[in-house]
């Protein structure tokens, strides 16, 4: 179980359903660091989930928890919320050299929940501050939250402010088709297209001010509107009662809880996002505290989707309006009247955005979290070791145990080079024949031909569609850049379509070779090129066009085409021609420029593996200078 390295134990106190900020943060955190290979285990009350081997380990005491965690050799303890607050001191003593970090939405510092809720709130807040000060860092989501933390005694130098947590690529995708999404929304729910489409995408809690917003909207008379509400939470029944009392059925559409992608589609389709949050006085034990909006992720998503925001001036909301030049209307009164909202929806703000990429999950995790957790970047090796499994190295050679020993010697080389395995069999067969390969998949690329190509990269399976989207397909930012450049030259891009999942078509009003040449100069450092395509323009990967998957992976994904190849003639010959050295195992005939290797017994195999290891080390050393 011990994997070493920058192993993360991720502590989750909530139930994991993606409803609020904590749950959404947990979803994207686990997804990102699982794919990076750093997430070792997820800790919940009563059990630990082993991410490497998909197993549960139950525990009934802190001592058992610590014992299990130590077998994972965790270097980072990351707490998704304050649910574990009373365990911080104990865990710090047992993991003195590990980095300990807590992330919070901001309100729980004031609520300060502990086992004994009969304690006065100021004592509980002091306890929270004392425990948090034993950590290395605590993540705040706004200046507003930071001031609250400091006010209860949390040390300023422990606080790292991180604003955001948005899938900006998906937002950009939907922002480009806003008009189509709006038309579909209007058609699907039979709404007057002249109506102003308003939306609330939120947890259903008192401090969100949804009930007050419904009552206020019912008083708008001069402007035709329709309200979409999406979410879930404790106030559902009260919200439903308000809707039935104040609005006509034709004036609103109530969704349930939407997944992140559905939420972004809705946000992009509407004309305005409403956030009518309050400074709500909430009970905590025998005392009270102010529960309010500390950041507002749905507003950030709206900004990235270029949907104007109408929001109340409470908590951390003003910070978003200060960061961005023109994103909508901020209302001074936290209980605005119908006239104020009506005036806001009559405006047509020209959205102007500043550095929204910093709101993106990947930016946050890669540029803030990883340095904070002292996670070392996986080295970009300068040499590839490409192996054709069929009839080479281990397949059909010796007994199962011997084959495993031989193959593991190869797999260990993934510490100093990129290991790429090509198999003509179905991907599942690799794990059936060689289940121990699971321990190495973080450092390998496996390609299998199963009718359609399948790729396993790192710890996850990506079928061809996802492989195309993540590796072959030009990203949304590149597509946007090309559209802007074409249109800056006086031509209009009227449609962008993906064809056969291999390339992208741009329908352009008028195009000529000089424009194509100019755009290709701009994207010359990418693995893509633009070419004419039946009076339109086609953007395609040069390597995909050649049909050479291995070459594409080596050159553009792993960053080096310098390779050592092993096969028996089954492996892609055009690729082996590019290898600095290629070995053929017991080939039926000899090929020029390749080294023939005779393996008839285990002594031959041992000798060859020693030669191979020396060659890989020599090439890795020379390539890295």
Closest CA to 308 of 192, 198, 194, 165: 198
Residues 534 and 553: their CA atoms lie apart, in Å, by: 29
Provide the 8-state DSSP code for 231.
-
Q: For residues 582 and 313, which has the higher predicted lDDT (pLDDT)?
A: 313
**What are the residues facing 280 on neighbouring strands?**
291
Residues 454 and 448: their CA atoms lie apart, in Å, by: 5
Residues 294 and 164: their CA atoms lie apart, in Å, by: 11
Residue 131 has pLDDT above 60, yes or no: yes
Summarised one tens digit per residue, pLDDT across range 549-586 is 666 667 666 778 788 988 775 555 656 667 888 888 88
Report yes or no: 77 and 98 within 8 Å, Cβ to Cβ: yes
Summarised one tens digit per residue, pLDDT across range 453-495 is 445 544 433 333 334 444 445 667 777 788 888 888 888 887 7
Q: For residues 91 and 497, which has the higher predicted lDDT (pLDDT)?
A: 91
Residue 425 has pLDDT above 70, yes or no: no
Cα distances from 29 to residues 262, 298, 370, in angstroms, run 20, 18, 11
* Mean pLDDT, range 262-286, rounded to an integer: 96
- Other Cβ atoms closer than 10 A to 120: 11
Residues 432 and 420: their CA atoms lie apart, in Å, by: 19
Residue 625 has pLDDT above 60, yes or no: no
Least confident span in 59-68, 192-201, 478-487: 478-487
Q: For residues 432 and 502, which has the higher predicted lDDT (pLDDT)?
A: 432
Report yes or no: 286 and 292 within 8 Å, Cβ to Cβ: no
DSSP string, 175-190: HTTHHHHHHHHHHHTT
- Other Cβ atoms closer than 10 A to 269: 24
For residue 537, what pLDDT is reported?
77
- Residue 528 tokens read as 């893509």
- Other Cβ atoms closer than 10 A to 320: 25
- In this prediction, residue 250 has a pLDDT band, given cuts at 50, 70 and 90, of very high
Report yes or no: 165 and 193 within 8 Å, Cβ to Cβ: no
Summarised one tens digit per residue, pLDDT across range 397-407 is 778 788 888 88
**Can you give the three-state secondary structure of 20-80, one letter per residue?**
CHHHHHHHHHHHHHHHHCCEEEEEECCEEEECCCCEEEECCCHHHHHHHHHHCCCCEEEEC
Report yes or no: 571 and 565 within 8 Å, Cβ to Cβ: yes
Burial of 422 (0-12, 13-18, 19+ CB in 10 A): buried
Residues 507 and 499: their CA atoms lie apart, in Å, by: 12
């Amino acid at each position: 179980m011990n994997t070493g390295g920058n192993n993360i134990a991720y502590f989750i106190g909530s139930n994991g359903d993606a409803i609020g900020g904590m749950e959404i943060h947990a979803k994207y955190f686990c997804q990102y660091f699982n794919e990076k290979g750093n997430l070792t285990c997820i800790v919940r009350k009563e059990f630990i989930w082993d991410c490497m081997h998909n197993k549960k380990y139950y525990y009934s005491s802190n001592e058992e928890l610590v014992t299990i965690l130590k077998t994972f050799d965790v270097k980072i303890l990351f707490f998704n919320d304050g649910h574990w607050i009373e365990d911080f001191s104990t865990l710090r003593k047992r993991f003195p050299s590990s980095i300990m970090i807590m992330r919070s939405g901001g309100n729980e510092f004031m609520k300060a929940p502990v086992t004994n809720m009969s304690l006065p709130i100021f004592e509980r807040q002091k306890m929270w501050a004392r425990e948090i000060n034993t950590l290395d860092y605590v993540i705040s989501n706004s200046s507003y939250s930071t001031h609250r933390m400091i006010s209860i005694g949390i040390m300023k130098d422990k606080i790292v402010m991180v604003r955001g947590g948005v899938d900006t690529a998906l937002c950009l995708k939907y922002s480009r088709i806003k008009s189509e999404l709006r038309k579909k929304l209007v058609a699907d729910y039979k709404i007057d297209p002249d109506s102003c489409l308003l939306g609330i995408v939120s947890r259903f809690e008192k401090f969100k001010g949804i009930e007050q917003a419904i009552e206020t909207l019912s008083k708008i008379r001069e402007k035709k509107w329709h309200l979409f509400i999406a979410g879930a939470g404790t106030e559902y029944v009260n919200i439903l009662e308000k809707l039935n009392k104040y609005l006509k059925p034709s004036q609103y559409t109530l969704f349930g809880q939407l997944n992140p992608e559905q939420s972004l589609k809705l946000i992009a389709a509407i004309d305005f996002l409403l956030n009518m949050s309050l400074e709500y006085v909430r009970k905590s034990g025998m005392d009270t505290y102010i529960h309010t909006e500390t950041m507002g992720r749905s507003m950030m998503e709206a900004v990235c989707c270029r949907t104007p925001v109408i929001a109340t001036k409470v908590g951390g909301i003003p910070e978003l309006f200060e960061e961005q030049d023109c994103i909508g209307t901020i209302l001074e009164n936290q209980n605005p009247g119908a006239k104020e909202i009506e005036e806001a929806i009559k405006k047509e703000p020209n959205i102007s955005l500043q550095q929204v990429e910093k709101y993106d999950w990947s930016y946050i995790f890669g540029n803030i979290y990883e340095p904070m957790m002292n996670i070392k970047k996986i080295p970009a090796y300068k040499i590839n070791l490409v192996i054709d499994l069929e009839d080479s190295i281990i397949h059909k050679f010796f007994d199962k145990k011997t084959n495993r020993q031989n193959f593991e010697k190869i797999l260990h080389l993934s510490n100093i080079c990129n290991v790429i395995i090509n198999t003509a069999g179905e991907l599942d067969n690799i794990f059936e024949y060689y289940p121990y390969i699971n321990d190495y998949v973080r450092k390998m690329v496996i390609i299998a031909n199963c009718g359609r190509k399948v790729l396993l990269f790192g710890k996850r399976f990506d079928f061809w569609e996802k492989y195309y989207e993540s590796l072959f397909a030009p990203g949304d930012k590149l597509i946007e850049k090309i559209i802007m450049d074409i249109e800056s030259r006086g031509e209009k891009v009227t449609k962008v379509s993906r064809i056969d999942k291999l390339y992208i078509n741009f329908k352009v009003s008028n195009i000529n070779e000089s424009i194509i040449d100019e755009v290709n100069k701009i994207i010359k450092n990418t693995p893509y090129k633009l070419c004419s395509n039946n009076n339109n323009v086609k953007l395609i990967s040069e390597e995909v066009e050649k049909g050479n998957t291995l070459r594409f992976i080596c050159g553009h994904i792993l960053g080096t085409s310098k390779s050592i190849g092993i096969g028996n003639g089954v492996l892609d010959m055009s690729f082996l021609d590019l290898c600095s050295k290629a070995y053929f195992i017991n080939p039926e005939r000899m090929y020029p420029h390749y080294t023939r290797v005779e393996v008839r017994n285990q002594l031959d195999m041992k000798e060859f593996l020693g030669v191979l290891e020396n060659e890989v080390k020599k090439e890795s050393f020379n390539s890295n200078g």
